[in-house]
């Protein structure tokens, strides 16, 4: 079965006596046991719930993995993954251009438990090699990175991890499984914030982990139940409903982003555009190899400063100034004061997250309307 068919069908064949064509919301916490000592598939909804099982099967298939697990948020998924695979004294090498919340969890929570983190640019797989120590148990990537949309070579990085007996994790939130499948490129785990493209409608918070190795699955599955960061049935159902239209939504996100990126590169008030689909992107060839298309995220630098950005953002009517991404509606934000405000200023500058940087998530509206909205904002800059 090909991707678009799987997205509409896998996990969604409700074994329901009514013959409903989609999975119902099993809004229930516990299950009657047929008789004392009888093994039942479902016992208690922290451990398992049929709506959640449907979602977990669907996500696993979309990533071409053997096992999927759903969580109450992307951070819940990431926390559970770290808790189940690392212990005191272990070391993790991560790309520096990382989702702010992940970095905060690493540095301000996990570090208290004796796990150590080193950050590298990751554009050259040798960056990971150089940071690896005998204690290194994990290599953590996001690609494209956030917010500068650099591309990390998944196959090369997972080879480095495996050469040193470490696991490779890819946060695939920015791409969704439709555009990039890290397990096929050698990763051991894929994590998602399903809040973003998988859910796709800015109406829920959720997370997921996909893996193929049975032993790793047993560990993470155990921790999912033990730590309990599980999603409720309604949120599982909403993610599953989002997944049914993932392929068509992603196609539109990509074509809209390509039109916008092209427009921005030609505009005199824009200093620099970051989009892996541009032939001028330094890693365009790797992006073409590793991704099916280039995604819906674009960053750019305005000629100007914080006040220029404010002027521009204040004049937009269709783009909502908001954190998050991956919804049907276009969103735009100012990383240095919003998503990346928790990163210390010197580190931000080093990462290239300057006050003139803007990041946008192209929605599925009409591309011409989106371009004319941006044009209005740019015209407002004196
Ligand atoms: C949003 C996001 C997360 C965190 O997910 P939540 O659902 O907000 O907890 C992790 N990684 C990336 C890349 C994200 O964009």
The Cα 60–Cα 191 span in angstroms is 11
Report the top-level CATH class of 3-243. alpha beta
Distances (CA, A) of 166 to 53, 187, 188, 320, 365: 29, 11, 10, 41, 42
Mutational pocket test of ligand 1: of 79, 99, 103, 323, the residue with most ligand atoms within 8 Å of the beta carbon? 99
**Is the minimum distance from the CB of 196 to ligand 1 under 6 angstroms?**
yes
- 219 assigned to active site: no
Assigned token pair, 236: 């599982």
Asked whether the CA dihedral 348, 102, 334, 172 is positive or negative, the reply is positive
Ligand 1, atom 1: closest residue by C-alpha:
193
Q: Under a CB-based contact definition with an 8 Å cutoff, are residues 189 and 172 in contact?
A: no
Q: Which of 26, 99, 119, 263 is catalytic?
A: 99
Q: Which of 31, 46, 292, 301 is catalytic?
A: 46
The Cα 301–Cα 29 span in angstroms is 49
- 307 assigned to active site: no
Distances (CA, A) of 182 to 168, 291, 377: 10, 10, 37
Q: What is the 3-state secondary structure (H, E, C) of 199-265?
A: CCCCCCCCEEEEECCHHHHHHHHHHHHHHCCCCCHHHHHHHHHHHHCHHHHHHHHHHHHHHHHHHHH
- 171 assigned to active site: yes
pLDDT digit of tens for each residue in the chain (382 aa)?
999 999 999 888 767 788 888 999 999 999 999 889 888 899 999 999 999 999 999 999 999 999 999 999 999 999 999 999 999 999 999 999 889 899 999 999 999 999 999 999 999 989 999 999 999 999 999 999 999 999 999 999 999 999 999 999 999 999 999 999 999 999 999 999 999 999 999 999 999 999 999 999 999 999 999 999 999 999 999 999 999 999 999 999 999 999 999 999 999 999 999 999 999 999 999 999 999 999 999 999 999 999 999 999 999 999 999 999 999 999 999 999 998 888 888 888 888 999 999 999 999 999 999 999 999 999 999 8
What stretch(es) of the chain map to CATH 3.90.1150.10?
Answer: 246-379
Ligand 1 nearest-atom number relative to CA 326: 15
Mutational pocket test of ligand 1: of 73, 74, 82, the residue with most ligand atoms within 8 Å of the beta carbon? 74
What stretch(es) of the chain map to CATH 3.40.640.10?
Answer: 3-243
Backbone angles phi, psi at 44, to 5 degrees: -155, 140
Kindly give the distance from the C-alpha atom of residue 104 to the centroid of ligand 1, in angstroms, as a whole number.
12
Query: What's domain 246-379's architecture?
Result: Alpha-Beta Complex (3.90)
Kindly give the distance from the C-alpha atom of residue 207 to the centroid of ligand 1, in angstroms, as a whole number.
8
Assigned token pair, 108: 């301000």
Cis ω for the linkage preceding 147 (within 30 of 0): yes
Ligand 1, atom 5: closest residue by C-alpha:
74
- 196 assigned to active site: yes
Gyration radius from the chain CA atoms: 21
Contacts of residue 350, Cβ cutoff 8 Å, sequence gap at least 6: none
Identify the CA nearest to 343 among candidates 93, 98, 92.
Answer: 98
Token look-up 């956030």 returns 146
């Amino acid at each position: 079965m090909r991707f678009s068919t799987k997205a509409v069908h896998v996990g969604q064949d409700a074994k329901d006596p009514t013959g409903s064509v989609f999975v119902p919301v099993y809004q229930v916490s516990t299950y009657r046991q047929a008789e004392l000592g009888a093994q039942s598939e479902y016992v208690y909804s922290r451990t398992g719930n049929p709506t959640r099982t449907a979602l977990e099967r669907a996500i696993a298939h979309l990533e071409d993995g053997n096992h999927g697990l759903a969580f109450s948020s992307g951070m819940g998924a990431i926390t559970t993954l770290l808790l189940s695979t690392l212990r005191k004294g272990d070391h993790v090498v991560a790309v520096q251009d990382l989702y702010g919340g992940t970095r905060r969890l690493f540095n301000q929570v996990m570090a208290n438990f004796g796990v150590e983190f080193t950050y590298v640019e990751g554009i050259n797989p040798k960056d990971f090699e150089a940071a690896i120590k005998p204690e290194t148990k994990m290599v953590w990537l996001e690609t494209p990175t956030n917010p500068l949309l650099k591309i990390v070579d998944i196959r090369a990085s997972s080879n480095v991890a495996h050469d040193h007996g470490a696991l490779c994790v890819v946060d695939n939130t920015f791409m969704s499984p439709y555009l990039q499948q890290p397990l096929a490129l050698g990763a051991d785990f894929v994590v998602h914030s399903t809040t973003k493209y998988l859910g796709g409608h800015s109406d829920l918070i959720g997370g997921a982990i996909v893996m193929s190795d049975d032993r790793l699955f047993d560990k993470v599955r155990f921790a999912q139940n033990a730590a309990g960061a599980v999603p409720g049935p309604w949120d599982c159902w909403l993610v599953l409903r989002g997944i049914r239209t993932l392929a068509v939504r992603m196609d539109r996100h990509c074509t809209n982003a390509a039109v916008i990126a092209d427009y921005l590169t030609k505009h005199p008030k824009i200093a620099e555009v970051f989009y892996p689909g541009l032939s001028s992107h330094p890693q365009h060839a790797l992006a073409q190899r590793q991704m099916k298309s280039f995604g819906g995220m674009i960053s750019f630098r305005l000629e100007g400063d914080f006040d220029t950005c404010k002027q521009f953002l204040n004049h937009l009517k269709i783009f909502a100034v908001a954190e998050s991404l991956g919804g049907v509606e276009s969103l735009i934000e100012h990383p240095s004061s919003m998503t990346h405000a928790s990163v210390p200023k010197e580190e931000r500058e080093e990462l290239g997250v300057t006050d003139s940087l803007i990041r946008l998530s192209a929605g599925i509206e009409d591309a011409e309307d989106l371009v004319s909205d941006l044009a209005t904002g740019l015209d407002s800059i004196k």
